[in-house]
Amino acid sequence: MREWLDLHIGTDWATYQGWILGIASLGLTIYGLIRQAPTIKQRINNKKLKQTAKCIEGGLNQAGRDIINTTNNHYPEVSRESELAKKKHDHDLKIIEEILCLLPYEETIDQLERSYIVGMLFQFSRDLENAEKFTDEKFQLYNSDVENSKNKFIDSIKAFNDSYISFLSVDNPEKKPLRLDLPYDWRSKGRESESAYRKHQNNMRKTSGVMIECYKDFVRTLKKHNFITDKL
Q: What is the mean pLDDT of residues 177-196?
A: 91
Range with the lowest mean pLDDT among 34-38, 137-141, 144-148, 197-201? 34-38
Give pLDDT tens digits for 129-141. 999 999 999 999 9
Reply yes or no on whether the pLDDT at 10 is more than 60.
no
d(CA 5, CA 109): 130
pLDDT at residue 23 in the model? 57
Reply yes or no on whether the pLDDT at 4 is more than 80.
no
Give pLDDT tens digits for 70-113. 555 556 777 889 999 999 999 999 999 999 999 999 999 999 99
Domain boundaries, the chain: 2-86, 103-224
- State the average pLDDT for the chain: 82
How crowded is residue 47: how many other Cβ atoms within 10 Å of its Cβ? 10
Which DSSP string do the residues of 8-19 spell out, in sequence order? HT---HHHHHHH
CB distance 168 to 119 below 8 Å: yes
